[in-house]
Amino acid sequence: MVNKAQVGVLALQGDFAEHIEMLSNFDVDVHKIKNKSQLEKLDGLIIPGGESTTIKKLIDRYDFENAIKEKINHGMSLWGTCAGLICIANKLTEKDPIPMGIIDVEVSRNWFGRQVDSFETNIEFKGITENIKAVFIRAPIVTKVKNNVEILSKLTDGTIVAVKQDKILGTSFHPEISGSSKVHEFFINLTSS
C-alpha cells in the first residue's frame, strides 16, 4: 500500500477552508495547520489567500518561518496563492510585510489597483492542458524572476502570474475559488514527485 500524501493548509487567516474543500477531491490526507508542531507530518503545505500583512504577522507571531524553511530543506512542497505568494517571495516592491524569501522572485502587491479593479480571466498554465479560470482579487504579480525559476503562466500582456522553483509554487490568483481543481492537482503531483 502506498502512503497517502499529507497536505496541509496554513489556517491562520484567509480562505483556507476553500483550499481544504478543493483538496478533499483528491486521494490525499488534508490537515488544517494552526500550530507549527503540525508541520512535522506534512509532505506539502499551502499558504492561502487572505491579507498578506495579517498572515505574515501571524506567521511571525507563532514562529512558523524557520519551521517551514526546515521542512522545505527536507523536501516538503509549498504553494502560496495571492497573499501566500507575497509571504514566500524573496523580495517585495513594498516595505510591508517582510517576506520569507523562499522563492527567488520579486513581487508587487495590489498591482492591478483596488478592489474595483479586481477581475477574472482565462489563462494558459504550463503543465495543464486546458485554459484555466483565474480570479484576481487585489492581486500581486511577479515583477522579477531569477534563472532558477520557471514561469508557468502569464497574462496576455506578459505579466507573470504563476511561477515554480523546484517544489515551490506561487500563483497570484486564486484557484481555490475558481471552481476548477486543476492547479490543486498540479500541486499534488508536485508534492508526490
Q: Which three cell numbers stand for residue 123?
A: 489563462
Q: Residue 120 CB, nearest distance to other proteins (Å)?
A: 6
Does residue 82 carry a catalytic annotation?
Answer: yes
CB of 13 to other proteins, least distance (A): 4
Choose between 72 and 174: whose C-beta lies nearer to other proteins.
Answer: 174
Q: Which of 19, 31, 174, 184 is catalytic?
A: 174
Report the residue number, 138 or 164, with the smaller CB distance to other proteins: 138
Residue position matching grid coordinates 497517502: 4
Cα 80–Cα 86–Cα 88 angle in degrees, nearest 5 = 60
Minimum CB separation from other proteins for residue 21, in Å?
12
DSSP 90: E
Rounded to a whole number of angstroms, the minimum distance from the CB of residue 188 to other proteins is 22
For other proteins, give the closer residue by CB, 51 or 185. Answer: 51
Instruction: Give, for 129, the enclosing helix (H) or strand (E).
Output: strand 128-136
Cβ nearer to other proteins, comparing 92 with 152: 92
Sequence-ordered alpha helix ranges (H) in the chain: 16-23, 52-61, 65-73, 83-88, 182-192
- The CA distance from 117 to 110, in Å, is 10
- Smallest distance, other proteins to C-beta of residue 17, A: 7
Torsion sign (Cα): 54, 60, 66, 67? negative
* 65 noted as active-site residue: no
Q: Is 175 exposed, middle or buried (0-12, 13-18, 19+ CB in 10 A)?
A: buried
Of these residues, 31, 65, 82, 184, which one is catalytic? 82
Residues near other proteins, by CB under 8 A = 11-18, 34, 49-51, 53-54, 57-58, 61, 82-83, 94, 96, 109-110, 113-116, 118-120, 135-138, 174, 177-178
Q: Does residue 21 have an active-site annotation? A: no
Instruction: Name the residue nearer to other proteins (CB basis): 51 or 124.
Output: 51
Neighbours of 48 (CB within 10 A): 25
Which residues are annotated as catalytic?
82, 174, 176
